[in-house]
Chain A
Amino acid sequence: MDWTLLILLVVPTVVHGNPTVTVRTGSGPPVGSDQHPNSVPLSEETQTTTEVREVVVEEVMMTGVLNPSHYPARRAATVVQHYLNTRYGSPYRWIFLSKVHSGSAEDVAEMRKYQLELTMQEIISNVSGQCSAELLFPGGEGQSAPQVQASCEGLLQSNTTAQEEAFYQQHRASNNMVSGNDIPDSYGHMEPNMKPFWHLGGVASSFIMLKESNESTLYNMAQVANFTQLETEKDQLRVNYHVLLHEMISQEIIHWKLLVTWSPEQGVQVLQTELQPKCHNCEAPPNTTN
């Protein structure tokens, strides 16, 4: 009887054990991380009355094998995305980065060279393809665009010919110029007939985003603020766009105006671009109520 009582006391203690919580130790630094930037240097920018600084860590550039989920590979991969859209995008073809599989970076003369293995997705047809890409970010003082080479398998499978042709025929006649604004709207919504113009705006924006990209930027098109179709010229649809680009690292919204042409044969071309100044004094006054 004494032993039974002892067992009865001991057993519940054993039952209320700790659930296993495995904390992975020794996971080690991520692959290719030489990343211990110098302490913060300040770059002075003087404006008219006040001195302001952009406080950034001088990013020691990653070299060697890149961690595919870390930002250097992802920023470079996004540049490849912009490049692919300038080459292959249309009102019915819009490509986005799906996944970075692997990458590496190295210094080549004054420049930074990346090699990437990626999955890209065409988001209208949902077709994905594997891509291999090489990028060269120019070094030095120049603001020139990165150079990209990419080859993809399976990405351009979707047959967009019929839709593109229909869209082209619908809009090439000059009797009904289309225009629109706030695409998508505040709720993420857009009318179905605006969608191809949204895609076209995104593709056209890729020309700017490609040119403006460097290792410290990550661009997306936030919205088509407005677009106006102009008279068709030389068999090209012509559209004036005002787009809002979102730059992730600075979190800024950057306004651009573009003149875009498109036809199924010639593809998307951007004839003119114009950066719009950030409007500091056109904010609504305080006490705006719901």
Chain B
Amino acid sequence: MCVSMYSAVWSREETTERNYYTRYHNMSEITAWMEQMKRENPDVVSSMVYGQTYERRNITLLKIGLSSTVRKKAIWMDCGIHAREWIAPAFCQYFVREILRTYKTDTKVNEMMKNLDFYITPVLNVDGYIYSWHNESTRLWRKSRSPGTGGCTCYGTDLNRNFYANWGMVGVSTDCCSETYCGTKALSESEAWAVTDMLGKMREDILAFLTIHSYSQLILVPYGHPNISAPNYDELMEVGLGAAKAIKAVHGMDYTVGTSPDVLYANSGSSRDFARLIGIPLSFTFELRDKGEHGFELPEDQIQPTCEEAYAGAQHIITYTHDKAFYSYAATVTATLWTTLLAAWVSSAILL
């Protein structure tokens, strides 16, 4: 009887689970979901609070990977830096579920889980996200929820203009009522500081940085300033175009690839630019569906197809990153090993 009760509970979870990833979830639900991911996958999932929002809420990431005795390389993904882009946290949840669902059976995902740790922040701008759930009139909130200063009475700084990456130079406003207000100074916002702090600690280990937004169907490469080119621009474009091709193969959707000043608008102080500046070689912004018909209010029946295609795009980038790091590395190690053995054999042959 105990066995049948257990399986009844299990199948109810599974049934709701199939619907869970096709709906938007508020912050309490996402927090509870993070706990559930840890509980259900204790050997591969742990969480880390790495900062606080203005309103003193925890900023939490999930660290996902097979445990290892040696230090591992990492992939960073954050969602929900802009509150109204609800499809982004939905994608982070989907991504986590997908790698947990497939790592035991899919050899490639398993290999990546073995060699890499995924650091995934489902909601970065927690205050803003909660505010956007408050009522219909707050749904289109974008920024953080810190108060204005110096006589300016509006709330919020655009977190994606607040990073220490050509801060304040272009595509920003110094009016605290503006949607692209860059803050009183770089890293004035604790949320931006939290990410900066983590990336700084991990910078030698992070191979790729993905930040998820909506809408416009774009894959953006550094930098946001029109006069500055990333040293590996060609590589970034190649990998980005590969990701766009993978996306298109899923549901036929076109995602345009390029620098922000080329395909969208110039901007400074973005997290993507900061990541590239501190040396993370592959740094991308994903702008998910759609192209303006629904905009930020993407219907729930599009969550699944959007996540499926974005997953394919992200996996293209992650696979490239992984293979570049581990196949080259393996070749070097193997060559060294065999050369050593050969030398030893040759010298022993001579001596005999």
Q: How far is the CA of A40 from the CA of B267 in the complex (A)?
A: 12
What is the CB-to-nearest-CB distance from B7 to chain A, in angstroms, rounded to a whole number? 33
B331 touches A16 (CB 8 A): yes
**A69 an interface residue at 8 Å Cβ cutoff?**
yes
B234 touches A23 (CB 8 A): yes
**B140 an interface residue at 8 Å Cβ cutoff?**
yes
Closest chain B residue to A59, Cβ basis: B266
Interface residues on B, range: 35 or more
Tally the A-B contacts, defined by beta carbons under 8 Å.
192
Which residues of B have CB within 8 Å of A54?
173-175, 178
What is the CB-to-nearest-CB distance from A76 to chain B, in angstroms, rounded to a whole number? 14
**B299 an interface residue at 8 Å Cβ cutoff?**
yes
Closest chain A residue to B131, Cβ basis: A288
Which residues of A have CB within 8 Å of B328?
18
**B335 an interface residue at 8 Å Cβ cutoff?**
yes
Which residues of B have CB within 8 Å of A45?
175
A280 touches B331 (CB 8 A): no
Which residues of A have CB within 8 Å of B265?
71, 248-249
Q: How far is the CA of A228 from the CA of B174 in the complex (A)?
A: 38
Q: How far is the CA of A221 from the CA of B135 in the complex (A)?
A: 19
Chain B interface residues toward A at CB < 8 A: 23-24, 26-28, 55, 86, 130-131, 133-136, 138-140, 142, 145, 147, 150-155, 158, 168-175, 177-180, 216, 226-227, 234-235, 237-238, 254, 256-258, 261-266, 291-300, 302, 320, 323-324, 327-328, 330-331, 334-335, 338-339, 341-342, 345, 349
Which residues of A have CB within 8 Å of B151?
49-50
Q: How far is the CA of A50 from the CA of B151 in the complex (A)?
A: 7
B295 touches A220 (CB 8 A): yes
A36 touches B226 (CB 8 A): yes
Interface residues of A in 63-107 (CB under 8 A from B): 67, 69-71, 74, 78, 96-97, 99
**A193 an interface residue at 8 Å Cβ cutoff?**
no
**A21 an interface residue at 8 Å Cβ cutoff?**
yes
A57 touches B171 (CB 8 A): yes
A35 touches B171 (CB 8 A): no
Which residues of A have CB within 8 Å of B147?
286
A281 touches B173 (CB 8 A): no
Closest chain B residue to A252, Cβ basis: B179
Interface string of A162-193 (1 = CB under 8 A from B): 00000000000000000001101111110000
B295 touches A246 (CB 8 A): yes
Closest chain A residue to B29, Cβ basis: A290
A25 touches B131 (CB 8 A): no
What is the CB-to-nearest-CB distance from B72 to chain A, in angstroms, rounded to a whole number? 21
Interface residues on A, range: 35 or more
Q: Are A56 and B299 CB-contacts (below 8 A) given A19-B323, A50-B152, A182-B136? A: no
Interface string of A5-42 (1 = CB under 8 A from B): 11001101100111101111101001000011101100
Contact of B175 among A52, A281, A288 (CB under 8 A): A52
B293 touches A55 (CB 8 A): no
B178 touches A252 (CB 8 A): yes
A9 touches B297 (CB 8 A): no
16 new A-B contacts, CB < 8 A, other than A281-B153, A284-B131, are A13-B335, A16-B327, A35-B226, A37-B226, A50-B152, A50-B175, A54-B175, A57-B170, A184-B294, A221-B295, A246-B292, A249-B265, A251-B179, A252-B179, A290-B26, A290-B133
**A-B contacts, 26 listed (Cβ < 8 Å):** A6-B342, A13-B335, A13-B338, A13-B339, A23-B234, A23-B238, A35-B262, A55-B173, A56-B266, A67-B262, A70-B262, A71-B264, A71-B265, A96-B293, A97-B291, A182-B136, A187-B297, A187-B299, A188-B300, A189-B299, A222-B140, A222-B295, A222-B296, A281-B153, A283-B154, A284-B134
Q: Are A30 and B174 CB-contacts (below 8 A) given A12-B338, A220-B295, A248-B216? A: no
Q: Are A280 and B153 CB-contacts (below 8 A) given A27-B237, A35-B226? A: yes
What is the CB-to-nearest-CB distance from B233 to chain A, in angstroms, rounded to a whole number? 9
Closest chain A residue to B236, Cβ basis: A23
A185 touches B338 (CB 8 A): no
Q: How far is the CA of A188 from the CA of B306 in the complex (A)?
A: 14
A9 touches B173 (CB 8 A): no
- Majority secondary structure, B binding face: loop
**A250 an interface residue at 8 Å Cβ cutoff?**
yes
Q: How far is the CA of A249 from the CA of B216 in the complex (A)?
A: 12
Q: Are A24 and B226 CB-contacts (below 8 A) given A97-B291, A280-B153? A: no
Q: How far is the CA of A54 from the CA of B177 in the complex (A)?
A: 12
Which residues of A have CB within 8 Å of B330?
16
Q: How far is the CA of A77 from the CA of B262 in the complex (A)?
A: 16
Q: How far is the CA of A221 from the CA of B16 in the complex (A)?
A: 34
Which residues of A have CB within 8 Å of B335?
13, 16
A57 touches B299 (CB 8 A): no
**A155 an interface residue at 8 Å Cβ cutoff?**
no
Q: How far is the CA of A8 from the CA of B179 in the complex (A)?
A: 65
Q: How far is the CA of A50 from the CA of B174 in the complex (A)?
A: 10
Contact of B262 among A19, A36, A71, A189 (CB under 8 A): A71
B297 touches A23 (CB 8 A): no
Which residues of A have CB within 8 Å of B130?
288-290
B235 touches A23 (CB 8 A): yes
B300 touches A278 (CB 8 A): no
Q: Are A55 and B168 CB-contacts (below 8 A) given A18-B327, A284-B138? A: yes
Which residues of B have CB within 8 Å of A189?
299-300
Which residues of A have CB within 8 Å of B338?
9-10, 12-13
Closest chain A residue to B268, Cβ basis: A55
What is the CB-to-nearest-CB distance from A129 to chain B, in angstroms, rounded to a whole number? 17
What is the CB-to-nearest-CB distance from A22 to chain B, in angstroms, rounded to a whole number? 7
What is the CB-to-nearest-CB distance from A248 to chain B, in angstroms, rounded to a whole number? 7
What is the CB-to-nearest-CB distance from A184 to chain B, in angstroms, rounded to a whole number? 5
Which residues of B have CB within 8 Å of A97?
291
Contact of B299 among A184, A221, A223, A253 (CB under 8 A): A184
B155 touches A220 (CB 8 A): no
